[in-house]
Amino acid sequence: MADEMIVKELDQVVVRFSGDSGDGMQLAGNIFSNISATVGNDISTFPDYPADIRAPQGSLTGVSGFQVHIGAGKVFTPGDKCDVLVAMNAAALKTQYKFAKPTACIIIDTDCFQKSDLDKAAFKTDNPIEEMGIKQDVIAAPISQMVKDCLADTGMDNKSMLKCRNMFALGLVCWLFNRDLTVAENFLREKFAKKPQIAEANIKVIHAGYDYGHNTHASVDHTYKVETKSKVPGKYMDISGNKATAYGLIAAAEKAGLRLFLGSYPITPATDILHELSKHKSLGVTTVQCEDEISGCATAVGASFAGALAATSTSGPGVCLKSEAMNLAVITELPLVVVNVQRGGPSTGLPTKSEQTDLLQALFGRNGESPMPVIAAASPTHCFDAAYDACKIALEHMTPVVLLTDGFVANGSGAWKLPDLADYPAINPPYVTPEMKDNYTPYKRNAETGVRYWALPGQEGYMHILGGLEKDSDTGAISTEPENHDLMCRLRAEKVAKIPVPDVQVQGCVEDADLLIVGFGGTYGHLYSAMEEMNRAGKKVALAHFVHLNPLPQNTAEVLRKYKKVVVAEQNLGQFAGYLRMKVDGFVPYQFNEVKGQPFVVSELVDAFTEILNK
């Protein structure tokens, strides 16, 4: 019978794994993403962690999700709703069903739908499928019991066996999509290299899940296949935004011929950058986990003074605490990359959720006139280029640079083609030259760029002092002269304003759009998808998505004034729209603002933008 199953070919599909925060949904999702990327599918993922440190097992607030969108061609978002929903317990079904399409296939572990589980999930009856009005295909299987039966001869205890439940669900999903399990086997053997028994147990369970689907047809009348339509030849990997950021910092240090130093303090959702960089001592990377945020930044400023490519990583609450040390880098004019992985706020807020609410903090959130270049990464894979660009600007213009990512971009992932570093531009810091030896002062500047020259400690003839007090522009000595302070503030601001950045590119109906969508950072995929959907429907829409926020591209005003209607869409209450109004005279856009801690929903964007078009 299994040979007679119909295989339905799809261009794209969305799978959402959900369960208790201890059920391993992130691991199952990551492995499925890796399998898909390896066969050449494009992918976009969205891990949705609970905000509780450890919610009670089976509770509604403790549900953890992982959504992956795989496509035969390019995909830009993790998808609004899923084609397959894996719900490992009653609470997962209750909270995650809203993400399922009307045609979705739902997989549940019936062993975790007992009365106690239903009570925790606030079900009123003993039939949750009927109670929720679920009409979709449901693959209801006693997954927990089958996992225990599968591992009965391994000598593992009951708790250890049940930790493999996620692999049974993954095996079932791999069967549903005709996936080869070889990649999953290799992934698990590498992940559990020091615990081979655990690796082999998980592999055994994956095969059991796959075989269960194959042998029973698992209540569906067809399986699926997503073939790769086109792909640029090369080596690909599934990479998260945080890992791509770390790799971008390493690549820039190598290109510049410098050691990389990261001073950091652990904070969600930025900590993985520290974790990743700590693995690469062999590449000349030094990481220091400091006792607090300000020391994380201050150690980086010290490393920069000593001649390293220095970075510090954090999230919004950490930027507040680092601001004094960031301003030390402003006044000393030392290169520094500050990575802010934005999360929901204010205060502790929603630490595992994603927002764009730190934009004004990045632009203005320090005492005094303290201009800094600001760059925003557009996707998980773009984090590599954005980090490289931030390092290049910091080193070549002797300034701290803020790199904004966010929880969605940082924890999400995409299929990334490994780059050739030879294709990336050179990084040339403005080192002092031998001719300056007899008349060097620390704020001697390049007349054209306004950038001060960099003398490293220990260079004979270039001894100098830097510090937080204002310095004389000519001698570098401490100065409280009013005219000198005014001059130095202007020189620092002009230096940043002169930094050359690429023009903002307009996509879609470039010449004759009736509506221009404007965004920045990690909303790119959703805004682009909304634009494409509207254009397919016969509407004339364009998109201008900003990566460089300070300085803004030179063509910003020209682009914003060109179109009849402009809507600025952002995951805050209007920070970018307000900034653009400040920078572009007479600019009064429509706004679309959400602060939900979740990515935009493309269908909601289309509805909102269509309403603006119809006004």
Helix axes 524-536, 602-614, angle to 10 degrees: 60
CA distances from 127 to 87, 115, 164, 206, 611 (A): 15, 10, 26, 28, 41
SS3 537: coil
Q: Return the number of other C-beta atoms located less than 10 Å from residue 537's C-beta.
A: 10
Q: What percent of the chain has pLDDT over 90?
A: 87
Q: 23-26 long-range contacts, Cβ below 8 Å, gap at least 24?
A: 23/64, 23/88, 23/89, 23/165, 23/166, 24/163, 24/165, 24/166, 24/167, 25/64, 25/65, 25/66, 25/86, 25/88, 25/166, 26/64, 26/66
**Scanning the structure block, which residue is given the tokens 């607090």?**
292
Tokens (6 digits) for 431: 């080192």
Burial class (CB in 10 A: 0-12, 13-18, 19+), 613: middle
Torsion angle of the four alpha carbons 336, 341, 343, 348, in this order, in degrees rounded to the nearest 10: -50
Tokens (6 digits) for 565: 């209607």
Peptide bond into 599 cis (omega under 30): no
- Using 50, 70 and 90 to split pLDDT, how confident is the model at 221? low
Highest mean pLDDT among 69-73, 232-236, 301-305: 301-305
In the predicted model, is pLDDT for residue 605 greater than 90?
yes
Average pLDDT over residues 91-110: 95
The pLDDT value given to residue 133? 95
Average pLDDT over residues 258-281: 97
Name the DSSP class of 431. B
The residues pairing with 313 across neighbouring beta strands, listed in sequence order, are 339
What is the DSSP pairing of strand 506-508 with strand 541-546?
antiparallel
pTM: 0.92
Helix ranges restricted to H, 69-114: 90-96
pLDDT digits (tens, 9 = 90+) for 286-335: 999 999 999 999 999 999 999 999 999 999 999 999 999 999 999 999 99
Q: Which amino acid, one-letter code, is at 440?
A: Y
Average pLDDT over residues 527-531: 98
Name the DSSP class of 88. -
What is the Cα–Cα distance from 236 to 245, expressed in whole angstroms? 16
Q: What are phi and psi of 213, to 5 degrees?
A: -65, -45
Task: Give the E-state strand segments of 10-71 in sequence order.
Answer: 12-20, 42-48, 63-71
What is the Cα–Cα distance from 146 to 409, expressed in whole angstroms? 36
What is the Cα–Cα distance from 339 to 479, expressed in whole angstroms? 32
Peptide bond into 346 cis (omega under 30): yes
* Residues listed for the chain: 615
Q: What are phi and psi of 218, to 5 degrees?
A: 45, 40
Q: What is the mean pLDDT of the chain?
A: 94
Q: Which amino acid, one-letter code, is at 592?
A: F
Pick from 35-44, 350-359, 445-454, 481-490: least confident: 35-44
- Using 50, 70 and 90 to split pLDDT, how confident is the model at 56? confident
Q: What are phi and psi of 433, to 5 degrees?
A: -110, 160
The pLDDT value given to residue 1? 37
What is the Cα–Cα distance from 146 to 119, expressed in whole angstroms? 24
**Scanning the structure block, which residue is given the tokens 């652990």?**
266
The pLDDT value given to residue 233? 81
pLDDT digits (tens, 9 = 90+) for 12-50: 999 999 999 888 999 999 999 989 888 888 999 999 988
Domains (ranges, CATH) in the chain?
2-225 (3.40.920.10), 238-423 (3.40.50.970), 430-498 (no CATH), 506-614 (3.40.50.920)
The pLDDT value given to residue 231? 66
The pLDDT value given to residue 220? 63
What is the Cα–Cα distance from 28 to 35, expressed in whole angstroms? 11
pLDDT digits (tens, 9 = 90+) for 458-503: 998 899 999 999 999 999 999 999 999 999 999 999 999 999 999 9
Torsion angle of the four alpha carbons 121, 123, 129, 132, in this order, in degrees rounded to the nearest 10: -100
Q: Are residues 241 and 354 in contact, defined by beta-carbon separation less than 8 angstroms?
A: no
The pLDDT value given to residue 377? 98
Tokens (6 digits) for 293: 């945020």
Pick from 49-63, 223-237, 580-594: least confident: 223-237
Q: Which residues contact 509 (CB under 8 A, 6 or more apart)?
A: 535, 540, 541, 542
What is the Cα–Cα distance from 59 to 605, expressed in whole angstroms? 32
- Using 50, 70 and 90 to split pLDDT, how confident is the model at 609? very high
What is the Cα–Cα distance from 337 to 384, expressed in whole angstroms? 13
What is the Cα–Cα distance from 444 to 286, expressed in whole angstroms? 30
In the predicted model, is pLDDT for residue 232 greater than 90?
no
- Using 50, 70 and 90 to split pLDDT, how confident is the model at 91? very high
What is the Cα–Cα distance from 585 to 589, expressed in whole angstroms? 12
The pLDDT value given to residue 38? 83
Pick from 57-61, 255-259, 500-504, 540-544: least confident: 57-61
Average pLDDT over residues 154-179: 94
CA distances from 68 to 17, 24, 110, 309, 606 (A): 9, 15, 24, 35, 22
| pLDDT, greater one: 49 or 394 | 394
SS3 573: coil
What is the Cα–Cα distance from 450 to 455, expressed in whole angstroms? 16
The pLDDT value given to residue 66? 96
**Scanning the structure block, which residue is given the tokens 């600025």?**
568
* Cα end-to-end distance, the chain, whole Å: 57
In the predicted model, is pLDDT for residue 222 greater than 70?
no
Q: Return the number of other C-beta atoms located less than 10 Å from residue 407's C-beta.
A: 30
In the predicted model, is pLDDT for residue 164 greater than 70?
yes
Tokens (6 digits) for 57: 């097992």
What is the Cα–Cα distance from 215 to 217, expressed in whole angstroms? 6
The residues pairing with 431 across neighbouring beta strands, listed in sequence order, are 454
